[in-house]
A and B are shown apart, each in its own frame.
Chain A
């Protein structure tokens, strides 16, 4: 009974994190039919940004907590907008495969970038960013002044976009440059595990629940925050004009644009919200499992997608329910897997990781539309 309860608590906690990421997947998929593989990386970035902020700014406790959550969310949001406008939007008229591959590319880029950045290498990256920014500037200038090189198939990138790209690359390059001493002090190396400083946020207090099972204040806060975010999202989607636009876009984008709504803005907004949630999930996860690394996003990203599929991809309730179920299933599998079995003392716990994929196969075979989805219909 006690194991059951403690696994239940951990499972719900895990589940809410999956749910938050799954929401991002499901919203974006609903509107543009794209699986944004890069959500795992946004999750990771949320954790890392939070880590940095905590280490660099020493704020009083309550303020610290709020900042550690909200600032990464905001930054991740901006990242989501960037991903959409730079990588996904140009491909919206092209076959879906191209966007999928791009998403993989973005995911690859982000995780390896963070992995690469260490105290020694950060200035290299900084230089690269600044050089890229300069190249774009030079290219643009020479087009304007000398009309060379002629704008052929590469034309059509608006001035605004160029300015944004140049500006942000330059800014990031600058930030990375000056970050070097800070990184050196933190003995930073993205590819290895870094310890997230939970103690700077909370002093952990345990509340006994039943027998030797306890729940910590951290866990309570995590669950409350996740639920609050989910409720907030629900209100947004169901009670606001924007939410209505999002829901309508899922069904019929043309009709929405004919109503005078800028569909591209709706899509951009969807991305922004999704990435904000993923970033939040990253922070919450880092607080739970304080070892963070550049590649920590891949597995949760995958599992959250499976959760979204389980709940019915495109359905917001589905993502929430799917996430919780996934978290519980995984937790119970891990908790119940025998760690020493048979004469060779085989440890089955690693196999419990496979539970999520087993769920995926079962869902796809038995009910591909998920819990809240509609059965697939082909129009010939």
Chain B
């Protein structure tokens, strides 16, 4: 790796480090209270979801409307591991719980990725419209499955029914700002590295002209599945983080409605833009907190937003542009020349 040949990246890295320190300090001194920290964490989680969905929909040109299903699969897996397997409670010291949490996150990603693979393989040959329906259906199936799975847990003295229609509750609060920040940065970095490589180029080629890509020697099914699996893996990771900040999960959270919210973030931000997804995710999360008082009306506005977006600004906010520090040095130099 040549980390220091890229000045902009260096500045960005420094900037992020500074940001991290500032936020942590502000939090410790109570300037930023817990409520705001929670929103910041949610923003980052949603950004991971938006960027991973963008990889599937925006860069590879597929049309998955079931991202929330992967998210919630990851969430449940992680939740089950921390509550049932490791039996972490609010009493457990954070230092001891952290490695188990990381394990849970990795497991969540792995399972979601596996599910993505199993679904993707047969289904990704289908055209847009069918894929949309199948992915919506997937979300519903997940909801049904998680509605169905329930365990009886021995809580020392009494037996509790966990899972099923009641959802999963009592998940320990393990998603700290640090953990989420690090996972967020890693996720963005990995996805960005994927995009700016021959694999990413193959995916974009598939989006642009699938037939031509196929005839230029690219195994299109392999790459569609690859993008889908990577996207679903990160959705699962985000789900694990989400479960451990809102501390509960319910099967309905993996449904169509939630998937559409992520879809909005992707299309609002711009279909081929990582930066756009991040901005849109941050923005939408913040806005929906603001709009919380008006409750359901918020969802109505989302619907209108989607329609108007498609009619007036289909390229989204950023279109295909990126923040400079995300684009590799060589690429950026090239664009500057022209």
Contact = CB atoms under 8 A, between A and B. Distances in A.
Interface of A: 29, 33-35, 87, 90-91, 94, 96-102, 104-110, 112-113, 115-116, 121, 124-125, 153-154, 191, 298-299, 302, 305-306, 309, 350-351, 353-354, 356-357, 360-361, 364-365, 368, 378, 380
A309 to B, nearest CB: 7
A353 B148 CA distance: 11
B40 interface: no
A298 B123 contact: no
B133 A302 contact: yes
B133 A306 contact: yes
A85 to B, nearest CB: 12
Residue among B136, B257, B310, B312 with most chain A CB within 10 A: B310
B306 A299 contact: no
A154 B306 contact: no
Contacts of B310: 91, 98-99, 101-102, 105
Contact of B122 (A90, A94, A96, A361): A361
A286 B296 CA distance: 24
Given A90-B311, A106-B303, A302-B140, A191 B296 contact: yes
Contacts of B126: 364, 368
Contacts, number: 125
A102 B141 contact: no
Contact of B303 (A33, A107, A351): A107
**Which of A105, A112, A153, A354 counts the most chain B CB atoms within 10 A?**
A105
B307 A96 contact: no
> What are the 8 A-B residue pairs with the smallest beta carbon separation, nearest first?
A109-B303, A105-B306, A108-B303, A112-B299, A116-B296, A105-B307, A357-B137, A112-B300
Contact of A104 (B128, B297, B300, B306): B306
B136 A302 contact: yes
Contact of B211 (A109, A364, A378): A378
User: Chain B: interface residue count, which band?
Assistant: 35 or more
20 contacts: A33-B129, A94-B314, A98-B314, A101-B263, A107-B303, A108-B260, A108-B306, A109-B306, A112-B296, A116-B299, A116-B300, A299-B140, A302-B133, A305-B133, A350-B148, A353-B140, A357-B138, A360-B133, A364-B126, A364-B130
Given A87-B311, A108-B306, A97 B128 contact: yes
B303 A112 contact: yes
Contact of B134 (A94, A101, A364): A364
Contact of A309 (B130, B305, B312): B130
Given A121-B297, A302-B133, A364-B123, A101 B267 contact: yes
Interface of B: 63, 65, 122-123, 126, 128-130, 132-134, 136-138, 140-141, 144-145, 147-148, 211, 256-257, 260, 263, 267, 295-297, 299-300, 302-307, 309-312, 314
B63 A97 contact: yes
A350 B302 CA distance: 30
A356 B140 CA distance: 11
A101 B307 CA distance: 7
B283 to A, nearest CB: 18
A108 B129 contact: no
A104 B65 contact: yes
A344 to B, nearest CB: 8
A32 to B, nearest CB: 11
Given A97-B128, A112-B303, A121-B297, 20 more contacts: A33-B129, A35-B129, A35-B132, A87-B307, A87-B311, A101-B267, A102-B307, A105-B303, A105-B306, A105-B309, A112-B299, A116-B300, A305-B133, A354-B145, A357-B137, A357-B138, A361-B123, A364-B126, A365-B122, A380-B211
Contacts of B304: 105, 109
A102 B145 CA distance: 29
A368 B300 CA distance: 35
Contacts of B133: 35, 302, 305-306, 309, 360
A124 B144 CA distance: 35
Contacts of B132: 35, 100
B306 A101 contact: yes
A360 B134 contact: yes
B296 to A, nearest CB: 4
B134 A116 contact: no
A364 B133 CA distance: 11
A97 B271 CA distance: 11
A29 B257 CA distance: 23
A362 to B, nearest CB: 10
B163 to A, nearest CB: 12
Given A96-B129, A380-B211, A105 B140 contact: no
Contacts of A34: 129
Nearest to A305: B133
B300 A113 contact: yes
Contacts of A357: 137-138, 140-141
Contacts of B211: 378, 380
A309 B307 CA distance: 26
A106 B305 CA distance: 10
A374 B126 CA distance: 15
B144 A154 contact: no
A359 to B, nearest CB: 10
Nearest to B267: A101
Contacts of A29: 129
Nearest to A87: B307
A113 B211 CA distance: 42
Contacts of B267: 101
Contacts of A33: 129
Contacts of A110: 303
Contacts of A100: 63, 128-129, 132
A90 B314 CA distance: 12
Contacts of A365: 122
A357 B144 CA distance: 11
A155 B310 CA distance: 16
B104 to A, nearest CB: 26
A97 B132 CA distance: 10
